[in-house]
Amino acid sequence: MLILSLDTTTASGSVALLEKTRLLAEMNTESGSSHSARHLRSVDELLRLNSLSIKDIDGFAVAAGPGSFTGIRIGLSTAKALAFASGKPVAPVSTLKALAFKLKDSQVRLISPILDAKKGEIFAALFESRAKSLEEVIPQAAYKPDYFLAGLPAHRLVSFIGNGAEVFKEKIFTYLKDKARFPSRSPFIAYEVGLLGYEILKGGRGKRGEDVQPLYFRRSQAEDKR
């Protein structure tokens, strides 16, 4: 099964090509503004370098959020268009779960992905790494940092990942002290999105492009103004 995986939910955008769980190629782009101008070019280049076309792809995986509202829309619209053109299914994947998946095989079993959601909030969750899965311990949602951090088990080691972990590092240390860990990992997650997407697709749980919905976890600024 060939999977094309996409992520534009943060400034660290990426595209990956997988054969089941094996990474064939990836392209990563750090963008301070928008991925709209580069993302489709990255997809085209990745396919061209591997002598493939969209018709060769068996399914798509896409980070559906949370993250930048604009970034989420770019990723989903790209996945929807590719699915429509090819007739192949899409596996929507949580950005937070994909980040946590980067630390799944580390020594610390509790993993907290955190994204800076701006406006004094974070997108966050707490996962526990099991033998073959990640179990959600604290639900994925938008939180006030103090509220979320106060709910973490202060007596256990917790590994943090994501741009919010760096922004709120001092506050994290205030709550967890020497139990906080900050492993160094790449911020690009298209490969992890592809791995999680593969599990969805091989189980026949992929969606039609038009049925894929974003994971916002809160209203956009435009909706707040209305």
Per-residue pLDDT tens over the stretch 49-63: 999 999 999 999 999
User: What's the pLDDT band for 30 if we cut at 50, 70, 90?
Assistant: confident
Whole-number percent of the chain with pLDDT over 90: 87
Question: Over 60: is that where the pLDDT of 224 sits?
Answer: no
88 and 193 belong to one structural domain: yes
80 and 15 belong to one structural domain: yes
Question: Over 70: is that where the pLDDT of 35 sits?
Answer: no
Tell me the mean pLDDT in the region 13-32.
Answer: 92
Beta bridge partners of 172: none
210 and 145 belong to one structural domain: no
Tell me the pLDDT tens digit for each residue of 147-189: 999 999 999 999 999 999 999 999 999 999 999 999 999 999 9
- Only one residue has tokens 């950005």, namely 95
Exposure b/e, 179-204, CB count within 10 A at least 16 = b: bbbeeeeebbbbbbbbbbbbebbbee
Tell me the mean pLDDT in the region 66-94.
Answer: 95
Name the domain count of the chain. 2
45 and 30 belong to one structural domain: yes
Exposure b/e, 165-177, CB count within 10 A at least 16 = b: bebbeeebeebbe
29 and 83 belong to one structural domain: yes
154 and 124 belong to one structural domain: yes
- Cα–Cα distance, 115 to 62 (Å, whole number): 17
Domain span including residue 154: 103-181
Mean pLDDT, the chain, rounded, equals 93
90 and 16 belong to one structural domain: yes
156 and 194 belong to one structural domain: no
Tell me the mean pLDDT in the region 80-86.
Answer: 94
**What pLDDT does 15 receive?**
96
**Looking at 181, 197, 213, which one is the last position of a domain?**
181
**What pLDDT does 223 receive?**
47
109 and 79 belong to one structural domain: no
52 and 69 belong to one structural domain: yes
**Looking at 146, 165, 181, which one is the last position of a domain?**
181
**What pLDDT does 39 receive?**
77
116 and 140 belong to one structural domain: yes
47 and 81 belong to one structural domain: yes
Strand order in the sheet with 59-63: 22-30, 12-19, 2-7, 59-63, 90-93
Q: What is the CATH number of the domain that holds 125?
A: 3.30.420.40
H or E element: which one contains 78?
A: helix 69-86
pTM above 0.85, yes or no: yes
